[in-house]
Amino acid sequence: MADEFGHLPRRPERILKATLWSLQGLRAAWLHESSFRLEVYLLAVLAPLALWLGGNGVERALLLGSCLLVLAIELLNSAIEAVIERYGPEHHELAGRAKDMGSAAVFVGLLNAGATWALILMPRWL
């Protein structure tokens, strides 16, 4: 999004504000989303394993990145759910569809992480 100077690079104070807003979002997810907390706990276990088990930089990046991608998708899913809840708890077909699709996106991210770990680590044990 353009600021008062158009699409020029942001000033340091704008970058700081954007960072603070991002940290507020992470805090809100931690406080209000049990799935996010669970995935952070899993990341705390899997991140050191990814760095230890990865045979080179690319493997480490793929193992760790697949886990971070799950967190990013969970944040987007939580944002979708929050917007839908803002308009009320009554059932609406489109709201239900949007929530289901957000949940499916998290599921696909988890499948991606599992497949990444399996494809990198399984050949070593077979």
Active site residues per annotation: 74
Amino acid letter for position 78: S
- What's the first-to-final CA gap in the chain, in angstroms? 50
Q: In this structure, is the dihedral angle defined by the CA atoms of residues 81, 87, 91 and 94, taken in order, positive or negative?
A: negative
Place of tokens 């394993």: 49
Number of H helices, E strands in the chain: 4, 0
The whole-angstrom separation of Cα 121 and Cα 125 is 7
Q: Give how far Cα 83 sits from Cα of 11, 62, 78, 87, 118, Å.
A: 30, 31, 9, 7, 35
